[in-house]
Amino acid sequence: MPNLAHKTFCVYTYGCQMNEHDSERIVGMLESHGAIRVDTVEEAEIAVFVTCCIREAADVRLMGQVASIKNIPLPKGSVLRKRMVCIGGCIGQRDGDELPAKLAHVDVVFGTQNIERLPYLLEAAMADGGHQVEILETSDSFSSELPSKREHPWAAWLPITVGCNNFCTYCIVPYVRGRERSRTLEDIAAEARALVEDGVKEITLLGQNVNSYGRDLYGEPRFADALRAVSASGVERVRFATSHPKDLTDEVIGLYAELPNLMPSLHLPVQSGSDRILKAMNRRYDAAHYRGLIDKVRTVNPDVSLSTDIIVGFPGETEEDFQATYDLVKEIGYTQVFTFIYSPREGTPAASMVDDTPREVIQTRFDALVDLVQENARVQNRRFEGRDVDVLVEGASKRDDRVIVGHSAHNVTVHAPLPEGVALDEVAGAIVTVRVDAAKAWYLSGTMLHG
Let me know: does 427 contact 393? Beta carbons within 8 Å: yes
DSSP 8-state secondary structure symbol assigned to residue 34? T
Phi, psi of 282 (to 5 degrees): 60, 40
Let me know: does 392 contact 155? Beta carbons within 8 Å: yes
If one counts every other C-beta atom within 10 angstroms of the C-beta of residue 78, the result is 15
Angle at 340 between CA 336 and CA 344, to 5 degrees: 155
Binding mask 172-211 for ligand F3S (x = CB under 6 A): xx--xx----------------------------------
Let me know: does 253 contact 300? Beta carbons within 8 Å: yes
Which of residues 44 and 164 has its CB atom nearest to ligand SF4 in the complex? 164
Q: What is the dihedral of CA 167, 171, 177, 182, to 10 degrees?
A: -50
Which of residues 233 and 348 has its CB atom nearest to ligand F3S in the complex? 348
The residues of the shown chain that bind ligand SF4, judged by CB under 6 A, are: 164, 166-168, 171, 173-174, 208-209, 244
208 is an interface residue for ligand SAH by CB under 6 A? yes
Residues 253, 224: Cα–Cα separation, whole Å: 9
Strand partners, 449: 433
161 is an interface residue for ligand SAH by CB under 6 A? no
Let me know: does 391 contact 414? Beta carbons within 8 Å: yes
Strand partners, 446: 436
Touching ligand SAH, residues 173-192 (CB under 6 A): 173
Which of residues 105 and 276 has its CB atom nearest to ligand SAH in the complex? 276
Give the one entry of ligand F3S, ligand SAH, ligand SF4, none that residue 174 binds, where binding means its C-beta sits below a cut-off of 5 to 8 angstroms depending on kind. ligand SF4
Give the one entry of ligand SAH, ligand F3S, ligand SF4, none that residue 414 binds, where binding means its C-beta sits below a cut-off of 5 to 8 angstroms depending on kind. none
Residues 223, 238: Cα–Cα separation, whole Å: 13
Touching ligand F3S, residues 264-303 (CB under 6 A): none
Q: Please, what is the minimum distance in Å from the beta carbon of residue 111 to ligand SF4?
A: 17
Give the one entry of ligand F3S, ligand SF4, ligand SAH, none that residue 376 binds, where binding means its C-beta sits below a cut-off of 5 to 8 angstroms depending on kind. none
Which of residues 139 and 242 has its CB atom nearest to ligand SAH in the complex? 242
Q: Please, what is the minimum distance in Å from the beta carbon of residue 178 to ligand SAH?
A: 14
53 is an interface residue for ligand F3S by CB under 6 A? yes
343 is an interface residue for ligand SAH by CB under 6 A? yes
Binding residue (CB under 6 A) for ligand SAH from 171, 226, 329, 414? 171
Residues 450, 215: Cα–Cα separation, whole Å: 46
What is the total residue count of the chain?
Answer: 451
| Interacting residues of 263 by C-beta distance below 8 A, sequence separation 6+ | 237, 238, 239, 409, 410, 411
Q: Which residues make up the interface to ligand F3S (CB under 6 A)?
A: 15-16, 18-19, 52-54, 89-90, 172-173, 176-177
Q: Which residues make up the interface to ligand SAH (CB under 6 A)?
A: 54-55, 170-171, 173, 208-209, 242, 244, 269, 271, 309, 311, 340, 342-343, 345
